[in-house]
Structure 1
């Protein structure tokens, strides 16, 4: 098939961008990746990448980055399809929605809606509107915060940011675990001083395997056309991080919860909803919503759901035939680099035993970065890690 429109991937310096490149390139789509630096951009080494460009930084020079993207599109015969590989790029697209919509194709048709769904507080309001349960949550700016947390949530609890991307960049954590009132007061004050809007939320009890994912594509009529489900086995940071080891598994309850919610809010394009089952009550709670391609995209690809290509086709021609994976295929996703840290921490805290970790080993692993047919990105990534370790060791001597 002759694909006229290019795909433009924002960010090839992480394995999500690499996975988008591979998912499209394998089908023969011409892919351009745009980064702000060549350093650590291991996705740009993929044989499936047709073009790699360096642009101004999206955060430090947003107007210049916008101008770069517009000028790039103007030089194309057909509108490119735009793919953000991380939340900061999503926020950038939302901010300059109308300017980019004129020159690029992407599924969402409402300015600011992606950010509204990613925002933990507005997401919880949307969930409640459609009768989807969310953990008990209190805005940190509410009056009598300490008393309310004590009476309504209890300890331990977590502090969650409304804007995860900037919070993680600042603190290197997705959440803060709070064990007592003194910690709550200290951390809330710190976050407020740094101008972060935060929530205090109940921790849903249960092991990592109670953390579920519903991955779906919604067409331009906001109807779910493609979907599957999965669960986490390990994540980093442990308990409140991104999947380092996950497995596809058919969990029909998730479809019953998530499909009406996504269709009800009129979502369009790819979305992943993260949920967790309370081990004490069995109730499933919505935790957060991702609005861009996620970290175990390669596993979804192996399950027969090529979400980047589905997006590309609906934007440029016609949506592929609907498909759902309503069986257990046995595929697992492994991000070995961070999973090593996760395994060490699970063993250290006693949350997992060595026998359980061995029992969870699968022979249908899908690696985050390594590919026999496209080895250069992984080799470059490993060389960069080795260099950083070497520099750290030599500096410490």
Structure 2
């Protein structure tokens, strides 16, 4: 009996020791689990810090690359613009000189022509020297800008001292600009001059109570007129008028997109609507954040004006914005990637590219200009409300003259000019009860 009691005590002691042993193991495992959790958190934090450093370095690298590319671009653009301006100036000077000599040869005396030829030689020498210098300048080279980042990341170390490398390379231009023999003076004097005039084509009476704020010429001698007074778009063809669409709010301007599709602005709806003039239906509406007024299209791009914000948006033909910039004047026309605008307030006619860069300005001569059209050769037609006359401005804004004034036609209440691309007809209309069509006549003199 005594032995059994002793054995029971020994078993109880063993169980107690085993329990303590398991408790010690459990405590150790708990500490191990906690340590593993801490290590996991530490690893994740280190990964996060490395990722943050990588992102920061990539952002810095991106900024540096963009700045280098922008600097090279601006330098190249500045050189090209200066070269272009210089070239255009010399071209215009040569054209003017040739015209002056042609006029003297035809109408002046032999003595006048002799002195004109002698004085022209010095000018031609300067222009020839300028051309030789131009051929040697690096303005006639292109920049091949490329960015190379090392794919092996060998430059990446624990401290992230550097991350890849960016290289801006230049290669010779592919432009071939041969040094041809300068033509003789006799060859230069054979340059022709073009005299442009507007010949009256027709006058047609407009429907009563119409207030035309926009017009666009189409093919097949058709045109569309925006009647703000009766909120409608009107089709005109060979003296006949037909309502196309009536709107709930007043439309303002219209332009041609395709043969049977036009785009109109509706300022109060902050929208541009596309209309099928055959079906007489709105087929698409594009909304903008501000009131839009003037609109024009050159077959490739769409330009929408927001005069209240002095902004102009360049978009694709679906109305998706490509660029936005500030522009002077609320009336404009888009032709061949150039935007011609008129500022009635400042008496200015301006030319921009589709990126908002002003190319030239013709100030002060045409007073209170309110309508603008451009022909195939970049001659600009502008209506002066103060002088009641139509002016023509030569390409690059170098000169102007009156082609139609109030003695030729009653132009007092006209404000809209439009010319279908590749057309030689100018449509003039406004709040008057009639519209005029002029044919552009070009005469070449030698």
Which TM-score applies when normalising by structure 1?
Answer: 0.25
Which TM-score applies when normalising by structure 2?
Answer: 0.23
Pick the structure with more helix per residue: 1
Higher relative contact order (CA 8 A, sep 6+): 1
Is the radius of gyration larger for structure 1 or structure 2? 2
